[in-house]
């Protein structure tokens, strides 16, 4: 038995960064072209050699923002990324509240813009992100303009903004936040709400993670310093004129797409040191499925009807199972995720008998649930809203389908032109409530 466990360990430790499948022998441009031909949309790769994906989601604390050696080092890191034409989102934390926060933010923005200008770098590559309670949003919007360019500006919303508050002061503050976000929803430099505090995994051997910043290219809320390959697939492109999904086309595309994306991931380069380590350990894919609401429109269903929600939820659940099943298959042929291989909980045990017994159980779990990727499916709350939808059309009732996601993206926000403040707030609060639900059941890779 111990010999079998040791053999299993060797097989699962085969965690080469590039797949050994036939796709791995191809160049990055060829792999990207194959993905595109399958129907996937990919954001243009960044970096001087066009071999970096997603951009750099970073988090900076007050110690790094205030003038001094730490601030200089943090800004130098940002400049190094901008010099390589890599977009960055900077999530600013621990800057205090009120006037103190505004002074620190102003100081940071002025210092960053001066450094960018001195090197003639593109400021449009810089996105900024703050927590809503740190300072008045109007002040954030104004001060953020100091960093020139069209980089996105995100506001992280949390429980105080999402729950009905009993205390008058807290309720007034939450109402003020929502009123501002709604009033400026049509502005060219609008602030973008984001409220996914975690990213999940379908692998029961891995933990969920805190998502404290935003991936630059697709607006997914992600852990700081994480490395992702974002790809997108339009679900209506694989449906009939009556809205029925053509599974005979979609399932092979999903399976092949995961394999190609995995091979492409191994050829990417990450200019930030934190992303280099994360890419090796976690191999994160951000496969976004869009057009969920459009599919309901094509089918002619009433989005308020429970049957419509059940029908759409079953579709997304099957897509999720397919993705994770494919990840499990790739783990068996190309190597398990290093974060799993390096997570042997008995590695430091002195008692050899207990250690070997535990390892037998651990490797049996790897055989059953080992995967090649830590995260895969990313959904947007806005994917349930067809173009031009009114708040009275009932598509908010489809939001529960986004519970199937591992992560959530907030770019591409519609303008909510004809929505009232009440309906606008209710949409985001309902989406937040869905995201806060306990994660869906783990997908067992061997039997998905």
Q: What is the pLDDT of residues 222-249, one digit of tens each?
A: 999 999 999 999 999 999 999 999 999 9
Nearest to 296 by CA among 359, 226, 245, 363: 245
Helix (H, G, I), strand (E, B) or coil at 357: helix
Confidence (pLDDT) at 342: 66
Give dist(CA 64, CA 228) in Å, integer.
25
Q: How far is CA 204 from CA 14, 131, 322, in A?
A: 20, 30, 17
Output the 3-class SS for 174-186. HHHHHHHHHHCCC
Confidence (pLDDT) at 20: 40
Confidence (pLDDT) at 397: 97
> Partners of 126 in the beta sheet?
88
Output the 3-class SS for 260-319. HHHHHHCCCCCCCHHHHHHHHHHCEEEEEEECHHHHHHHHCCCCCCHHHHHHHHHHHHHH
Q: Where are the alpha helices (DSSP H) in 98-150?
A: 98-118, 137-144
Give dist(CA 197, CA 223) in Å, integer.
9
Asked if 184 contacts 141 with a C-beta cutoff of 8 angstroms, the reply is yes
Confidence (pLDDT) at 440: 58
Confidence (pLDDT) at 252: 97
Helix (H, G, I), strand (E, B) or coil at 221: strand
Confidence (pLDDT) at 214: 98
- Token pair in block for residue 18: 């590039």
Confidence (pLDDT) at 387: 86
Confidence (pLDDT) at 443: 60
Q: Is 67 exposed, middle or buried (0-12, 13-18, 19+ CB in 10 A)?
A: exposed
Confidence (pLDDT) at 170: 82
Confidence (pLDDT) at 212: 96
Collect the ranges in the chain with pLDDT lower than 50.
1-21, 445-448
- Token pair in block for residue 306: 């429970």
Give dist(CA 121, CA 137) in Å, integer.
27
Asked if 231 contacts 287 with a C-beta cutoff of 8 angstroms, the reply is yes
Confidence (pLDDT) at 365: 67
């Amino acid at each position: 038995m111990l010999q079998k466990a040791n053999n299993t360990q060797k097989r699962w430790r085969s965690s080469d960064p590039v797949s050994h499948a036939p796709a791995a022998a191809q160049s990055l441009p060829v792999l990207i072209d194959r993905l595109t031909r399958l129907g996937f949309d990919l954001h243009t790769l960044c970096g001087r050699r066009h071999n970096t994906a997603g951009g750099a989601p970073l988090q900076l604390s007050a110690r790094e923002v205030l003038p001094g050696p730490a601030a200089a080092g943090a800004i130098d890191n940002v400049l190094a990324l901008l010099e390589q034409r890599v977009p960055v989102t900077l999530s600013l934390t621990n800057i205090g509240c009120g006037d103190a926060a505004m002074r620190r933010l102003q100081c940071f923005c002025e210092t960053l813009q001066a450094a960018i200008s001195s090197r003639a770098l593109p400021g449009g590559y810089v996105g900024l992100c703050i927590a809503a309670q740190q300072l008045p949003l109007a002040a954030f919007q104004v001060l953020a303009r100091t960093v020139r360019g069209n980089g996105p500006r995100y506001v992280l919303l949390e429980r105080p903004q999402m729950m009905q508050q009993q205390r008058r002061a807290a309720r007034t503050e939450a109402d003020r936040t929502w009123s501002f976000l709604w009033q400026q929803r049509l502005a060219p430099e609008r602030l973008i709400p984001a409220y996914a505090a975690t990213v999940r995994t379908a692998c029961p051997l891995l933990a969920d993670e805190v998502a404290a910043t935003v991936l630059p290219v697709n607006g997914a809320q992600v852990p700081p310093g994480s490395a992702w390959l974002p790809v997108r697939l339009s679900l209506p492109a694989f449906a009939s004129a009556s809205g029925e999904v053509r599974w005979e086309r979609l399932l092979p595309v999903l399976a092949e797409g995961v394999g190609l994306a995995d091979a492409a991931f191994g050829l990417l380069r990450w200019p930030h040191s934190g992303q280099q380590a994360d890419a090796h350990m976690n191999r994160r894919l951000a496969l976004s499925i869009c057009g969920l609401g459009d599919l309901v429109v094509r089918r002619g269903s009433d989005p308020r009807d429970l049957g419509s929600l059940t029908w759409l939820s079953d579709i997304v659940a099957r897509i999720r199972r397919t993705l994770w099943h494919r990840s499990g298959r790739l783990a068996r042929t190309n190597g398990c995720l290093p974060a799993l291989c390096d997570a042997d909980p008995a590695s430091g045990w002195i008692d050899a008998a207990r250690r070997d017994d535990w390892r037998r159980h651990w490797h049996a779990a790897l055989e059953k649930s080992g995967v090649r990727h830590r995260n895969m499916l990313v959904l947007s709350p806005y994917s349930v809203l067809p173009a031009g939808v009114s708040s009275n059309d009932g598509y908010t009732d489809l939001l529960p389908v986004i519970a199937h996601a591992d992560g959530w993206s907030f770019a591409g926000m519609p303008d909510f032109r004809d929505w009232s403040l009440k309906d606008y707030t209710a949409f985001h609060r309902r989406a937040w409530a869905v995201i806060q639900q306990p994660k869906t059941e783990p997908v067992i890779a061997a039997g998905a």
